[in-house]
Amino acid sequence: MKEILSYYLRKNNNVIIETLQEHIDEAIKIVNKIEYSPILRYAKRISPNLKNFDKLINLAIVFHDAGKVFFQEDNIKNKEYLSFRGHEFFSSYIFKSFCKECKANFTFEENYGINDYELINFAILFHHHSMNIMERLNEISFKTQYKIQWIEKLYESLNPFLNEDYKVFLKSTIDNIKKDFKRENAIALIKEDIKLELKNIWENIWYDRNKKKISLIILTILIVSDNIAAQNKRGEAQAKNVFHMALEDFYNFYLVKPQCKI
């Protein structure tokens, strides 16, 4: 079986392919100077106990496209493109499952100075927020028996970016997801859980001023790293527009040490 793909497009007899592992690696490189950035100084004014911010951002990047594992196709030779519409909801589902494993061993406050995984999950859920969220969620439909075989591949894609403890938790997470997918009406049940998570995260974060600010900071950084990484890896398939130019400006002004531009 091939690697999990993050992007696939057949255009003018050329095939542009990006694996999930390649995309994560490129996105992490985009934010590798964040410890010296103005955005971190601002975040610490909002949340003085914040620590290991680079690792927190990396965690959001590692899991933001993990849900694409369920949108893979066994045979794509004759396909024009591979669609991942709604993958962010399953990325959130995977990350929440992962966090359950983590919580049995430590709190997020110990590692990051914030005791709420939802601040990260907010970014994962909404990194395509400009699109119709509920429409994207309701349209998701696939047969689990054809997707469960891909779940094991997720470990290989995410493993290189996690520390040893997280690797153990990821294995347990994958085992639990496989059990979830063997339930009758698994997709319908998971979608209902995701709808509840959307509601809970919104209520928990949007009405708390500091949580909202930190969540939006994480979300913005994720959107910037995600889109610039995609531009870097996919080249002409992702033509630059005003949106991408705005992201690059944000990157140069807020995500790197002054005078260090892309």
Q: Is residue 260 part of a domain?
A: no
Q: Which domain holds residue 120?
A: 5-255
pLDDT in tens, 129-174: 766 777 888 888 776 666 778 888 999 999 999 999 999 999 999 9
Q: Is residue 137 part of a domain?
A: yes
Q: Is residue 261 part of a domain?
A: no
Other CB atoms within 10 A of residue 222 CB: 22
Q: Is residue 61 part of a domain?
A: yes
Q: Is residue 262 part of a domain?
A: no
pLDDT tens track, the chain, 262 positions: 589 999 999 887 788 999 999 999 999 999 998 988 999 999 999 999 999 999 999 999 999 999 999 999 888 887 899 989 889 999 999 999 999 998 877 778 888 998 788 999 999 999 987 667 778 888 887 766 667 788 889 999 999 999 999 999 999 999 999 998 888 888 888 889 989 988 999 899 989 999 999 999 999 999 999 999 998 877 755 567 888 889 999 999 999 866 655 5
Q: Is residue 14 part of a domain?
A: yes
**pTM reported for the whole predicted model:** 0.92
Determine the angle formed by the axes of helices 164-181 and 148-158, rounding to 10 degrees.
170
Q: Which two tokens stand for residue 245?
A: 């130019």
**9 beta partners:** 16, 81
Number of domains in the chain: 1
